């Protein structure tokens, strides 16, 4: 690009951002916040370590509801259990829109379940939940798939023969295969090129999106589109995944029997055929590709990352690991795999898994929401179309909700009689209308994977437990644990 085009581009950006900034003033009573600069918004106040830390710091100064400008984009930030719950649960409908997330939006263009809005989102969500249920989500039939996949994972772990290994790839491959079997109809062999490609793309993208590059892209997408950097790989990876899904959809089309759907793709294709005469139908080819992509992305990295956090925590606190193993031995024994029915009899293990999810806080800033109409909220009015960031991190670390929020403490989920105790501030899957669609599946996976691994193995760190660092490597879209290796020894 020559100098003149660059100057025109920058001028255009300035005009757009100035108009966005100043047309927003005076529209209702916006929550307070730091004064924004043209184009940059509040970037100067957002420079410490990462976005999560900066936004949390600002909430200390401006309160649990404040306005901030991410570049030219106005965003209302909510923190603390009470405020986040009032928005997502008590005013669920108003806060149910999906906020702008350029790093996803540039790929999905608002299509697919996770990044669509309005009627299309409602229709897609209802349909997807129904189909996932039909294929067993939250029921026994999916438990069997998880158990089967879990036993393949145990086999892989056994083959490490007590030698050190990095768990990232091994876990993602196994977890991804569960949602793959629902979407594509069958699991992949662990060395199948399609599975390996999906994992590579998803791992890479989750990492980039959790890095400062991913965050900067979300603030200045038009500018970063012109700059080199790892963020460019995100779109190549997305395109690669889309092509892989499209290939599978073509294969499904060739062998489709509408009377006997094999998987999610068959069900979607059948619905597309039923509605093909309706020009306003939400069931289009691109929507199928994007929804499938969202399910794969949502269903792979989140669970794998949570299990990696759990590994680190259990190695740092060997007494917790031993107590979970004692409960497994007492309730399940060693001769059969754990099943979901065991969970009610395993309050300590249940509490540990909840505490891992609270403490690890895998999606610390949630996905952005948007208010779908002018919304009175805590004495302010948030104008229709304003993006809202709900800091789930401040819910999980709310000292009014958890006795020792900065510590890993399973007692947060146990009552005085050591029975399992729920907490309303447990929100790793968010809350309200946009609540994670895969929550029942994810909870089953976490329970069965962690209990069957600990039934068979003890996890050993390569460093002293006290030297294990539980602080995340980076916090963007996800809170990623620091890379580590471990050994698993047969019990
Ligand atoms: C430990 C595992 C998981 C965590 C921590 C997690 C967390 C989340 C969070 C925080 C959201 C955003 C909710 C909001 O906007 O308020 C979300 C949305 C979503 N998740 Fe999950 N998730 C997990 C597993 C899964 C699985 C296994 C699937 C696939 C079946 C999945 C599919 C989705 C989808 C499709 C959405 C978008 C929902 C919508 O916009 O209506 N997630 N998840």
Pick from 306, 365, 436, 441 the residue to mutate for probing ligand 1's pocket: most ligand atoms within 8 Å of its CB: 436
For the chain, percent helix, then strand, then coil, each to nearest 5?
Answer: 55, 10, 35
Distance CA 70, CA 467 (A): 37
pLDDT over 70 percentage in the chain = 93
Q: What is the pLDDT of residues 171-187, one digit of tens each?
A: 999 999 999 999 998 88
Average pLDDT over residues 127-134: 92
Q: What is the pLDDT of residues 270-282, one digit of tens each?
A: 999 999 999 999 9
Residue 27 DSSP code: S
Residue owning the nearest CA to atom 34 of ligand 1: 437
Written as six digits, the tokens of 200 are 């590579």
Distance CA 225, CA 217 (A): 8
Residue with tokens 């991804």: 176
Where are the chain's structural domains?
Answer: 80-490
Measured from the Cα of 390, ligand 1's closest atom is: 16
Mean model confidence pLDDT for the chain? 91
Decide if domain 80-490 falls under CATH 1.10.630.10: yes
Tell me if 441 CB under 6 Å of ligand 1: yes
Pick from 84, 298, 427 the residue to mutate for probing ligand 1's pocket: most ligand atoms within 8 Å of its CB: 298
Q: What is the pLDDT of residues 1-36, one digit of tens each?
A: 455 555 545 555 555 555 444 444 444 599 999 999
Residue 257, number of CB atoms within 10 A of its CB = 9
Q: What is the pLDDT of residues 105-123, one digit of tens each?
A: 888 888 999 999 999 999 9
Measured from the Cα of 178, ligand 1's closest atom is: 27
Model pLDDT, residue 254: 94
* Residue 297 CA, ligand 1 centroid: distance in Å: 9
Scored b (16 or more CB within 10 A) or e, 360-390 reads bbbbbbbbbbbbbeebebeebbbbeebbbbb
Q: What are phi and psi of 337, to 5 degrees?
A: -75, 150
The region of weakest confidence among 44-48, 295-299, 303-307 is 44-48
Q: What is the pLDDT of residues 218-265, one digit of tens each?
A: 888 888 888 888 888 998 999 999 999 999 999 999 999 999 888 999
Residue 48 DSSP code: S
Model pLDDT, residue 253: 95
Query: Got the DSSP string for 401-445?
Result: T-SSTTS--GGGGB-TTS-B---TT--TT--GGG--TTHHHHHHH
Measured from the Cα of 294, ligand 1's closest atom is: 35
Confidence band, pLDDT 50/70/90 cuts, at residue 424? very high
pLDDT at 212 over 70: yes
Written as six digits, the tokens of 331 are 């309730």
* Residue 145 CA, ligand 1 centroid: distance in Å: 20
Tell me if 87 CB under 6 Å of ligand 1: no
Tell me if 299 CB under 6 Å of ligand 1: yes
Could you tell me which of 369, 388, 374, 389 has the C-alpha nearest to residue 117?
Answer: 369
Tell me if 438 CB under 6 Å of ligand 1: yes
Tell me if 30 CB under 6 Å of ligand 1: no
3-state class (DSSP) for residue 237: helix
Q: Is 487 annotated as a binding residue?
A: no
């Amino acid at each position: 690009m020559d100098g003149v085009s660059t100057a025109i581009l920058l001028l255009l950006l300035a005009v757009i951002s100035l108009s966005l900034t100043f047309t927003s003033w005076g529209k209702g009573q916006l929550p307070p916040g730091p004064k924004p600069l043209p184009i940059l918004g509040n970037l100067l106040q957002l420079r410490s370590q990462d976005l999560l830390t900066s936004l949390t710091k600002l909430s200390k100064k401006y309160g649990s509801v404040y306005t901030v400008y991410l570049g030219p984009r106005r965003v209302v930030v909510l923190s603390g259990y009470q405020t986040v719950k009032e928005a997502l649960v008590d005013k669920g409908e108003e806060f149910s829109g999906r906020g702008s997330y350029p790093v996803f939006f540039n790929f999905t263009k608002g299509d697919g379940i996770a990044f669509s809005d309005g009627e299309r989102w409602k229709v897609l969500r209802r349909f997807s939940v129904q189909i996932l249920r039909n294929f067993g989500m939250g029921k026994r039939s999916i438990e069997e798939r998880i158990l089967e996949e879990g036993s393949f994972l145990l086999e892989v772990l056994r083959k490490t023969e007590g030698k050190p290994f990095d768990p990232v790839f091994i876990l993602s491959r196994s977890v991804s295969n569960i949602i793959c079997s629902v979407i594509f109809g069958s699991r992949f062999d662990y060395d199948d090129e399609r599975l390996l490609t999906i994992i590579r793309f998803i791992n890479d993208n989750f990492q980039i999106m959790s890095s400062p590059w991913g965050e900067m892209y979300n603030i200045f997408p038009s500018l970063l589109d012109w700059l080199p950097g790892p963020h460019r790989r995100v779109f190549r990876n997305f395109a690669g995944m889309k092509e892989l899904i499209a290939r599978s959809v073509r294969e499904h089309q060739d062998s489709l029997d509408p009377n006997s759907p094999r998987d999610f793709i068959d069900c979607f294709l059948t619905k597309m055929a039923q509605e093909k005469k309706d020009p306003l139908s939400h069931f289009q080819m691109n929507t199928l590709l994007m929804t499938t992509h969202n399910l794969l992305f949502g269903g792979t990295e989140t669970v794998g990352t949570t299990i990696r956090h759990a590994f680190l925590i259990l190695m740092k606190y060997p007494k917790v690991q031993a107590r979970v193993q004692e409960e497994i031995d007492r309730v399940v024994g060693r001769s059969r795999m754990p099943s979901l029915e065991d969970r009610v009899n395993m309050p300590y293990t249940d509490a540990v898994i909840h505490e891992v999810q609270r403490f690890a806080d895998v999606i610390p800033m949630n996905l952005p929401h948007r208010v779908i109409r002018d919304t009175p909220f805590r004495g302010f009015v948030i104008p229709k179309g304003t993006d809202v960031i709900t800091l789930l991190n401040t819910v999980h670390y709310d000292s009014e909700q958890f006795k020792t929020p900065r510590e890993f403490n399973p007692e947060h989920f146990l009552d005085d009689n050591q029975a399992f105790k729920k907490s309303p501030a447990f929100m790793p899957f968010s809350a309200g209308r946009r609540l994670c669609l895969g929550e029942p599946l994810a909870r089953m996976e976490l329970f069965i994977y962690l209990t069957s691994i600990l039934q068979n193995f003890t996890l050993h760190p390569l460093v002293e437990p006290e030297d294990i660092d539980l602080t995340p490597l980076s916090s963007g879209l996800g809170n990623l644990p620091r890379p580590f290796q471990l050994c698993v020894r047969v019990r």
